[in-house]
Chain A
């Protein structure tokens, strides 16, 4: 059917098969780009993962690495790869997935790229609570995680309530969140200021995020959280897409806006808090992953998975670069911070010129 033969008098008439085919082709074409990006990112993560296991101060050939993973005893490699590099690399990937997926959930839901959990105080809340638990309460492991998670949720709730007026507008929530984040950051600073020398090393990871000294005990809770919460978010991908059209439009499409938003917030905060409890608030990963994924994938289609993969790749590469490529050893959060800060400035400048969205 050509453009001139528009038949507006039969709105629901079955369209010609070739028209349907053309529409389906366009949709699949845009979807294919997303699939290619997902495949490419997955391949890069796999490659990066292999590289971080093999390279370091000592090089181990692939055969040794595979041997360690399969549980064989390889002299030297069993300790270095099995106890040091493997948990660290796994945490880098898993925490990155958590940050990336949670970040884009917030940014999409609130229609504002600045509304990521690391900007609006949720990471800062989890971080302050963890510092408090380590330094003041002398807690370890699961106790610290639990503290971080409860506080992350409490901060999310506080920001939500303070920003609520006939629904939540992204801009107001971002401003409230930045204020709360600043307050919580000063709480963390204060606690660290008074910390005993031997607590400092452990507590310092809460300032920027670090994967130093990662053990399997750190990794397992994050893996479980990801396995439980990521499917919850992925199942709500359609609702999240509908929310981008505005609360009213989403509601008209059958989304229960307030309930859906609550579920998304709890799931996303859970991911952030578990990842933060294990690796610290790795700066800007949640904030950067969504916009990078959006550029790669193009418009349309859910960003949840691409953004999670971008997050994993960011943490993996930044941690490797921080350890071996920059002369001195930097914690991963310093590297991502250097990447993220200029983008934050750019976004704020751009948002003030026009009402920006993701």
Chain B
């Protein structure tokens, strides 16, 4: 089982050049839970994820991992505790699946990358867990989008971190593969206690899979809590500028958002 880690964001201000993207943000990631961050395009979700995994230095405030400032910690030490799967990682041309997954072992290896039995075990376990074992010796370029995404998640699993951050892990996947990926991440959380933080576009999948839901608007925290607390018509209106109705999802019992557009509104007239 993984140990519990605290991840806190205090008074965080982030930006690129003269543009401020996130301002004075404070939030807490509950340990051992699945946290989903939602918000409109360009509201700073990806930027926040990058700052939490020390890829981006904050303008102000800090990110605390177990009470320590992430940006002051040695990079490999952070990478053994906290993994990040960015939105568009690049697969080198022709690389075999298991070699790509093996790159996840980098923070556990010293210089000259000597390979140990533990490395092979971690890769094998990640391949099994993501159902990509039969693909192990195939080139990544030949895989479908869904398979490729599972391979990238396998790389993150091989890193064996207690916290895993994912930036829109379901983009470009069809609905069955989206559910498959989210189920896999939930398995990881339930069986290992891995703390998961991910950015998702689809509000309803977010509400279904989140233990803790965070809604960002204009670079600040709009609401945080259980999906039932956060996914309300008021929040949807404030965050996305969209009118909606919320019903209870008959499948999951979680809230389900139904958007109200200008057409096909049976309650109108």
How many whole Å from B39's CB to the nearest CB in chain A?
20
CB-nearest residue of chain A relative to B157? A11
How many whole Å from B239's CB to the nearest CB in chain A?
26
The reply to whether B191 and A11 form a contact with Cβ atoms under 8 Å apart is yes
Given contacts A249-B90, A254-B80, contact A26 B137 (CB under 8 A): yes
What is the size, in residues, of chain B's interface with A at 8 Å between Cβ atoms? Answer: 66
Q: How far is the CA of A301 from the CA of B109 in the complex (A)?
A: 15
> For the complex, is A255 an interface residue (Cβ under 8 Å from B)?
yes
The reply to whether A10 and B93 form a contact with Cβ atoms under 8 Å apart is no
Q: How far is the CA of A20 from the CA of B127 in the complex (A)?
A: 10
CB-nearest residue of chain B relative to A31? B115
CB < 8 Å neighbour of A26 from B55, B96, B129, B183: B96
> For the complex, is B128 an interface residue (Cβ under 8 Å from A)?
yes
Given contacts A15-B128, A252-B79, contact A27 B104 (CB under 8 A): no
Q: Residues of B contacting A14 with CB < 8 Å?
A: 121, 125
Q: Residues of B contacting A256 with CB < 8 Å?
A: 75
Q: Which of A1-21 contact B (CB under 8 A)?
A: 1, 3, 6-15, 19-20
Q: How far is the CA of A20 from the CA of B137 in the complex (A)?
A: 13
Given contacts A242-B106, A248-B55, contact A11 B188 (CB under 8 A): yes
Residue-wise, chain A 219-243 has the 8 Å CB interface mask toward B (1 for contact) of: 0000000000000001111110110
What is the size, in residues, of chain A's interface with B at 8 Å between Cβ atoms? Answer: 48
Q: How far is the CA of A23 from the CA of B119 in the complex (A)?
A: 10
- Per DSSP, chain B at the interface is helix
> For the complex, is B268 an interface residue (Cβ under 8 Å from A)?
no
CB-nearest residue of chain B relative to A165? B17
> For the complex, is A166 an interface residue (Cβ under 8 Å from B)?
yes
> For the complex, is B136 an interface residue (Cβ under 8 Å from A)?
yes
The reply to whether A238 and B113 form a contact with Cβ atoms under 8 Å apart is yes
CB < 8 Å neighbour of B125 from A3, A12, A298: A12
Q: Residues of A contacting B106 with CB < 8 Å?
A: 238-239, 241-242, 253-255
CB < 8 Å neighbour of A8 from B54, B85, B184: B184
> For the complex, is B192 an interface residue (Cβ under 8 Å from A)?
yes
Q: Which of A14, A234, A244, A249 has the most CB of B within 10 A?
A: A249
How many whole Å from A264's CB to the nearest CB in chain B?
13
CB-nearest residue of chain A relative to B95? A299
The reply to whether A166 and B16 form a contact with Cβ atoms under 8 Å apart is yes
The reply to whether B88 and A246 form a contact with Cβ atoms under 8 Å apart is yes
Q: Which 5 A-B pairs have the closest CB atoms?
A: A254-B79, A299-B94, A11-B129, A254-B76, A252-B84
Residues of B within 8 A of A (CB): 16-17, 50, 53-55, 75-80, 83-86, 88-96, 98-100, 102-104, 106-107, 109, 111-113, 115, 117, 120-121, 123-131, 133-134, 136-137, 139, 157, 159-160, 183-184, 187-188, 190-192, 194
The contact sample of 24 A-B pairs, CB cut-off 8 A, is A1-B133, A3-B134, A8-B129, A9-B187, A9-B190, A10-B187, A13-B125, A13-B129, A23-B127, A26-B98, A27-B98, A166-B16, A236-B111, A244-B90, A246-B89, A249-B89, A251-B54, A252-B55, A252-B79, A252-B83, A253-B103, A254-B106, A254-B107, A358-B92
